[in-house]
Structure 1
């Protein structure tokens, strides 16, 4: 046991840095002043100006910005006969500068904005250009900034929770205990699971929270076990990441008597990175999601061939933004970048599979349901290749 807990505790200590990088801070979205959310008219016969807002000079995110810019240019090279004039602006990871750069981009002719990376900066950019009728496709995953002229491209907890609980319900699982840390990210995760449970007819038997510390995780384990058993739940849904409390729960809950043979484990985060997660007892038979493996592999291979290195995990979001804009401009309509076009039900083909933007500013992505068998990842239900299938 001690040999396992040592690395899991190290992973736990990394969580604060990871949570800070995700940047979930946000303000209220501002509604567009143009009818229906609008969008500027575009001349699809000429190069369409598109602004990419990334934190180039942010010392903590410069590498992400570079990888995103590379991915955007890779997507440009994939467009068939579509002309896009990509213009890159530096936000420095700062909300005020993001707003200033968004205004500058629109003044210089940008018809749509891709980025920024962080939620607060994206909200500021959206507010700054709302009166101009320009839409913002943010790289954030924070649903609280979505709406009006701001659309988020980052994978959402609601999308993941809905995919997992929809699949679990079809396997006969109908009651769940939610386990989340007492922080902003944990609250977002809990709310997403509760909403997905209601949508899929799954009963939330109980909600168990814990303070963001190793001691609190240890103390929460017997309480979670007793809650699952006393409330007659058949599943436990963990919101924590591999860099947070997830490894400890996957080790300690089975040791405390919550067997994966009788209780379905599932989680909002990926369980295949780092690989040591795959050997933990609670991971065996558990449910988690992955993006479309085939699409992801193809994107990563193309990126390596072009740039000689692997893309940052978030780089695909910039590729997706260009792919969506390119697909819409190719239709040749003057309202190609308006709200109605952006939210077309058929969606788009992206770096990691199909995705679509919703009228509320959030998104849906085609996800595969995966599990762990014999310490190896196994796909239980493939990612859908289009909308309308079992995964949606």
Structure 2
């Protein structure tokens, strides 16, 4: 999700960072440089750009977890050797650009990371002439395109999945309720596209100032508009760290709930887990990766490293999984763009995914409903791009 509480210097596409217990800077292997254009060692050379070196504990934790997940993925590959080299960006676009150039000069055939959108954009521009692609961990579609891909879950992917399910369930008349800020406006646009693509109709749109007073003032008129429009679903852009607890409760207090107009969320309503207990979200729907696959990853990661993975560490595993699937034989030069965007896609710890030619991604998501404070899967994540859910 796009965090509305991101640090100002990284406000563009900053993924939500949840602190873990341990702190360790990501290491930079000291292997000798290989000639540009390929490792020349029978391996595929991958550069992993992480936010280590910024001096912020959350960045160091994230850097460590991304590297650990990538190494776990490498250990799982069969008949593929990956030469992983880690580069610290310090959370700086300028350093991300220089590190990307250094990685390519040392023979990187593909770049995984960085996390933050401004860094990923800078890295992509810096190495564009080399033909090396950047598989960033950002979820900001604004930076996608040319040689930059986003691996993070996008609003469009979630909106499309939930809208399609709502239409199939006879709840295709949708009201959009969004925060009056950048993330809310982007979410509103994504929902509109998703509903129309699914064959539904946006029957009403309401917004609120992103403040406590703004939500309180807007709630009665939102409920009135939902009733007058005949909305069968109410699609909320709010997230757990922002307005979701308040806006969902005030809608219920004013007489609107999933009992009379299905609530749906553009963000994860199970993170943090305390969100599941909110009275206003009971009965609501949200989308999430295949929980069984991700639970396996969490358990294996904890067994290997003695601590849980960072919430977005699975993206590093997914990136290595994609590289491994394309590297069954020794490759010279950058991993080709047409191979990265193959329609069959890949399988990672978050389920199936594929990279689109516009630099965005599609992921196989499950639909969950909150019942009695717990998330219950009501429509399983697809296991192929030919099945239901797409």
Q: Assess if the C-alpha contact under 8 Å between 1:24 and 1:185 holds in 2.
A: no
State the partner residue of 1:4: none
Moved more, 310-319 or 275-284: 275-284
Q: Assess if the C-alpha contact under 8 Å between 2:80 and 2:329 holds in 1.
A: no
Does 2:97 align with 1:86?
no
- State the TM-score, normalized to the length of structure 1: 0.89
Matched residue SS, 2:389: coil
2:372 to 351, 354, 374: 374
Query: Gaps (5+ residues) in structure 2?
Result: 15-35
State the partner residue of 1:208: 206
Does 2:139 align with 1:118?
no
Q: Assess if the C-alpha contact under 8 Å between 1:44 and 1:330 holds in 2.
A: no
State the partner residue of 1:97: 95
How many Å apart are 1:252 and its aligned residue? 1.2
State the partner residue of 1:50: 46
2:190 to 192, 197, 200: 192
Q: Distance in 2 between matches of 1:317 and 1:22?
A: 19
Q: Assess if the C-alpha contact under 8 Å between 2:49 and 2:111 holds in 1.
A: yes
Matched residue SS, 1:329: coil
Q: Assess if the C-alpha contact under 8 Å between 2:44 and 2:331 holds in 1.
A: no
Q: Assess if the C-alpha contact under 8 Å between 1:51 and 1:86 holds in 2.
A: yes
The higher relative CO (CA closer than 8 Å, separation ≥ 6) is in: 1
Q: Distance in 1 between matches of 2:38 and 2:107?
A: 10
Matched residue SS, 1:75: helix
State the partner residue of 1:218: 216
Q: Distance in 2 between matches of 1:374 and 1:384?
A: 26
The Cα offsets for residues 206-263 of structure 1, whole Å up to 9 and x where unpaired, read as: 2212221111011111121111112221111011111111111221101101132110
Taking a change above 3 Å as real, the CA distance of residues 318 and 121 of structure 1, as seen in their structure-2 partners, is: same
Taking a change above 3 Å as real, the CA distance of residues 363 and 22 of structure 1, as seen in their structure-2 partners, is: farther
Give matches, 1:156-175, under 5 Å: 156-175=154-173
Moved more, 313-322 or 279-288: 279-288
Q: Distance in 2 between matches of 1:212 and 1:19?
A: 17
Q: Distance in 2 between matches of 1:199 and 1:331?
A: 39
Q: Assess if the C-alpha contact under 8 Å between 1:24 and 1:184 holds in 2.
A: no
Q: Distance in 2 between matches of 1:331 and 1:264?
A: 50
State the partner residue of 1:24: 12
Q: Distance in 2 between matches of 1:295 and 1:192?
A: 27
Matched residue SS, 2:107: coil
Q: Assess if the C-alpha contact under 8 Å between 1:18 and 1:243 holds in 2.
A: no
Matched residue SS, 1:178: strand
2:64 to 63, 66, 69: 66
The Cα offsets for residues 313-346 of structure 1, whole Å up to 9 and x where unpaired, read as: 0101111111110110015565881110001111
* Greater share of residues in helix: 1
Does 2:133 align with 1:135?
yes
Matched residue SS, 1:127: helix
Does 2:339 align with 1:341?
yes
Taking a change above 3 Å as real, the CA distance of residues 95 and 223 of structure 1, as seen in their structure-2 partners, is: same
Matched residue SS, 1:241: coil
Q: How large is the Cα RMSD of the aligned pairs?
A: 2.0
How many aligned positions are there? 365
